[in-house]
Structure 1
Amino acid sequence: MMVSKLFGIIFFCGLLSPSQEVLSGLSCAVSSQAMQNVLSDAIIHNGLLQQHLQGLVLPNIMGEGRLLNSPVSITGLHLVQVRLPRLSVVLLPGIGVQLTIGAKLQLSGNCLVGLLSELIDILVDVNITANIKCTNFESGTVQVVTEDCLCILGAIKVKILSGLLTLSVNEMVLRQLTATLPALLCPVVDIVMNLVNIQLLGTLNAVIPVGTAGTIHYQLASIPYTSGKFLGLDLDGAVKQVEGSTIPHDSSPSALPPLVDRLLLLVMRQSFLNAILTLLLRIPPQTFPCTPDVFSGANHLHEALWTITPAGCSPCRGTSPLNIKLMLGGNPLILLEENKASVKLSVLIQVFIKHLDGSILNLLLLKADLGLNVRVSIVGGRLVLQLALGSTALSLESSDVGISNISALKPHCSSLLMERLLPAINGALNVGIPLPNVLGIPLIKVDVQI
């Protein structure tokens, strides 16, 4: 069921018509609303802005109060609290993120009017706008630069206990704060954004285990880019086996599909998925007796086998039990079509007799080329693939006893593979493909499209 507002979408693609071409294993489009949520959480809700503004000390304010011609001096002026902070984001094509932070700053200090000294409270509206650019990409990291920082002051309220301040003092305070606050606040924004950058890079550059089979090393592949609708991120996904070797995968240029009304779009490429399937489907060969307690269709397979066995094969009809060996014959290949995913997988089926002296009689060795239908789901931040048998093509590889016509074995081999092999494959895939925690955006209400 489609929902109107999706927190995440996984989109498998092969080769699309390139617009924004990328060469990585995984790409992301992050909407301006999602970026606003991410930065609001990091800067506002987690208290980072308050933390770095706390204790901010402002220069003394000196001037003429026009109250009984008494001079006014305000000293020890410092930030007490950031009230009602709010943040908004605009994505500027080719530039970066335009960040706007609005808040009320509560300041406190000592006010000396003539010989009268008392506490002063100042509440001033500030609006800070800055362009945030990413530069100096290297090995999965970027630096952020704050440019064109503009700090505009709005309404101001000045209060002392005696209430002896005049309008001219308000004007004097506003004038002095307008001259001094931007030089104090803009560097704080720069510090905060650099800390946020480190935090967010940690969500992109991560080594995530894939069960006990190996790991995926996600890393930012290139400098982020912006359009008017989304922030684009390309990630490398190095698929490594547990012993440390990397499973290679090719990358082809492709285009990001439209973001529409989604907060986050993840695009995973076919070659990247093939590398992960190769990692997960390292299933050891299965060898077992062809008996009903192991394979429910064992008796039917026996009967079909005897009908195609040459009459002169006396060992075939002896008392030695049949044995079956299943082994994967090469790496899996995932194929992506519109609204459909399938996996091609080759399996070798050996049917043999093991004599008491240890010698083996190979009745036949079959190659089964399987077409497996893929069902996709998201579980706990992992992409889980489950396979079902769609088609089976059997071919004879060899036979020590002269078997040549294997057409009668197809239904029995299909049953054998469904009963013995598919549970092992789906068990291996049940670990799931770990997805990067892109900018900490939760994958909730996920729509999966192929």
Structure 2
Amino acid sequence: MTMLKQFGIIFFCSLLSPSQEVLSGLSCAISSRAMQNVLSDAIIHKGLLEQHLQGLVFPNIVGDGGLLNSPTSITGLHLVKSRFPKLSVVLLPGIGVQLIIAAKLELSGNCLVGLLSDLIDILVDVNITANVKCTNFESGTVQVVIEDCLCILGAIKIKILSGLLSLSINEIVLNQLRATLPGLLCPVVDIVINLVNIQLMGTLNAVIPVGTAGTIHYQLASLPFTSGLFLGLDLDGAVKQVGGSIIPHDSSASALPPLLDKFLVLVLRQSFISAVLSLLIQIPPQTFICTPEFFSGASRLQEAITTLAPAGCSMCRGTSPLSIKLALSGNPLILLEENKATVELSVMIQAFIQRLDGPILNLLLLKADLGLNAQVSIAGGRLVLGLSLG
């Protein structure tokens, strides 16, 4: 089960509902550091923000020059690149997630001062703060909205190729960028966040095959929620057999353990794991003839079982060999304790004799309950369950 990868997706979703720490179904708690890593990778490192910044259309900057200065116009202003972009995340309890994006924008264009034409380069520090939350939960999906977006401009450096930079040009550029950049950058952040949400939700609402026996259907069960320490997620995990029938499992609430210094804590309910084991452990009935070639104590076993038969049963003491049939009874059950896991299996043991002319005579029917030690580990992003006799 590629569980960890599937839960990486939702690092992005934030919350609207009041803060709580009890979930039903499958649950996970995600730290702000983990969210920051995932969002930085999706928005910054993979170039999604840069791609949409490159599409910005900047208005021309025009100044009349006043009484003492020549008229100034800056046209063809465009983004060359964004330098040193950085993203950070702050959890807002009961509200959502605050994203803070800082970068230096390198702009270039043509500057006309009076009759003199020149190239102009502008380097401006921007800091964008956006409060993000999820709304409109329906069928495992949510809509992401930005409630507040604040764009603050920091230091601005202006360079003209000729080196003749007047105070009037500096003031015109500064005033115009402060007036226009917030209206350009906040919509870009909104587009980028919604694209990331679509990508991540697409990996969350997933169907995971469990061998050839069935599938697990994951989807968000409700709106996520935030506390001051983590983002909490409640997931539905429908365990389906081949053919579509669902194996029921209890989804009663349980508390999330403390996150401490971990990036992510994942809670798998005992009943959910038992439902998955019902798919994994599907052993067809096994029948074998109890002969010395198969089992060295076959003769003693047959003698011991036939002595249990009624005294008047002549067929029970014939020469036909004893056959034994083993079959699983019911579904497996996993029991979780502190630092210990046990898988319980019920096996029906049928001892019978089949005569040459066809009829079957049942001699013994037993139900045996087996307790197997379970070792849980993670390898290659998968949850691995090893079973052994105690």
Fold conserved (TM > 0.5)? Answer: yes
The one-character-per-residue Cα deviations of 1:107-133 (angstroms, maximum 9, x if unpaired) are 111100110112211111101001001
Q: In structure 2, give the amino acid aligned to 1:310.
A: T
Classify 1:260/1:138 alpha carbon distance in 2 versus 1 (closer, same or farther; 3 Å).
same
What corresponds to 2:165 in structure 1? Answer: 165
The one-character-per-residue Cα deviations of 1:217-243 (angstroms, maximum 9, x if unpaired) are 000000011111111111100011110
What corresponds to 1:364 in structure 2? Answer: 364
2:307 counterpart (307, 310, 320)? 310
What corresponds to 1:277 in structure 2? Answer: 277
Q: In structure 1, give the amino acid aligned to 2:191.
A: I
Q: In structure 2, give the amino acid aligned to 1:22.
A: L
The runs of 5 or more residues in structure 2 that have no matched partner are 8-19
What is the distance in 2 between the residues matched to 1:193 and 1:385?
Answer: 37
What corresponds to 1:156 in structure 2? Answer: 156
Give the CA deviation at 1:292.
5.3
SS at match of 1:153: strand
The one-character-per-residue Cα deviations of 1:356-382 (angstroms, maximum 9, x if unpaired) are 111222221111111121111223333
What is the distance in 1 between the residues matched to 2:279 and 2:336?
Answer: 19
What corresponds to 2:12 in structure 1? Answer: none
What is the identity percentage for the equivalent residue pairs of Structure 1 and Structure 2? 77
Q: Tell me, yes or no, if the aligned pair for 1:213 and 1:280 is still in contact at 8 Å.
A: yes
Q: Tell me, yes or no, if the aligned pair for 1:274 and 1:332 is still in contact at 8 Å.
A: yes
- Equivalent residues in 2 for 1:39-78, closer than 5 Å: 39-63=39-63, 69-78=69-78
Give the CA deviation at 1:173.
1.0
Classify 1:109/1:215 alpha carbon distance in 2 versus 1 (closer, same or farther; 3 Å).
same
What corresponds to 1:259 in structure 2? Answer: 259
The runs of 5 or more residues in structure 1 that have no matched partner are 1-5, 10-18, 391-450
Report the TM-score, using the length of structure 2 for normalisation. 0.90
What corresponds to 1:20 in structure 2? Answer: 21
- Equivalent residues in 2 for 1:15-414, closer than 5 Å: 20-24=21-25, 26-63=26-63, 69-291=69-291, 294=294, 298-307=295-304, 309-310=306-307, 312=311, 315-390=315-390
Give the CA deviation at 1:317.
5.0
What is the distance in 2 between the residues matched to 1:59 and 1:76?
Answer: 8
What is the distance in 2 between the residues matched to 1:267 and 1:55?
Answer: 43
Query: Greater CA deviation, 278-287 or 221-230?
Result: 278-287
What is the distance in 1 between the residues matched to 2:380 and 2:211?
Answer: 14
Q: Tell me, yes or no, if the aligned pair for 1:67 and 1:165 is still in contact at 8 Å.
A: no
What is the distance in 1 between the residues matched to 2:381 and 2:364?
Answer: 44
Following TM superposition, the consecutive aligned residue runs of length 4 or more in structure 1 with deviations greater than 6 angstroms are 6-9
Classify 1:166/1:95 alpha carbon distance in 2 versus 1 (closer, same or farther; 3 Å).
same
Q: Tell me, yes or no, if the aligned pair for 2:6 and 2:203 is still in contact at 8 Å.
A: no
Q: In structure 1, give the amino acid aligned to 2:52.
A: H
Q: Tell me, yes or no, if the aligned pair for 1:96 and 1:132 is still in contact at 8 Å.
A: yes
What is the distance in 2 between the residues matched to 1:113 and 1:35?
Answer: 48
Q: Tell me, yes or no, if the aligned pair for 1:205 and 1:220 is still in contact at 8 Å.
A: yes
Classify 1:293/1:72 alpha carbon distance in 2 versus 1 (closer, same or farther; 3 Å).
farther
Q: Tell me, yes or no, if the aligned pair for 1:8 and 1:262 is still in contact at 8 Å.
A: no
Report the TM-score, using the length of structure 1 for normalisation. 0.78
Classify 1:292/1:197 alpha carbon distance in 2 versus 1 (closer, same or farther; 3 Å).
farther
What is the distance in 1 between the residues matched to 2:269 and 2:61?
Answer: 61
What is the distance in 2 between the residues matched to 1:293 and 1:96?
Answer: 69
Classify 1:362/1:75 alpha carbon distance in 2 versus 1 (closer, same or farther; 3 Å).
same
Give the CA deviation at 1:307.
3.6
Q: Tell me, yes or no, if the aligned pair for 1:63 and 1:73 is still in contact at 8 Å.
A: yes
Give the CA deviation at 1:326.
0.6
Q: Cα RMSD between the aligned structures?
A: 2.2
Q: Tell me, yes or no, if the aligned pair for 2:352 and 2:362 is still in contact at 8 Å.
A: yes
Give the CA deviation at 1:212.
0.4
What corresponds to 2:15 in structure 1? Answer: none
Give the CA deviation at 1:332.
1.4
The one-character-per-residue Cα deviations of 1:331-389 (angstroms, maximum 9, x if unpaired) are 11211111111122210111222211112222211111111211112233332222222
The one-character-per-residue Cα deviations of 1:90-116 (angstroms, maximum 9, x if unpaired) are 011011110000111111111001101
Q: Tell me, yes or no, if the aligned pair for 2:205 and 2:217 is still in contact at 8 Å.
A: yes
Q: Tell me, yes or no, if the aligned pair for 1:8 and 1:264 is still in contact at 8 Å.
A: no
The one-character-per-residue Cα deviations of 1:42-97 (angstroms, maximum 9, x if unpaired) are 10011110111113121111225689721211112111211111100001101111
SS at match of 2:106: strand
Query: Greater CA deviation, 116-125 or 372-381?
Result: 372-381
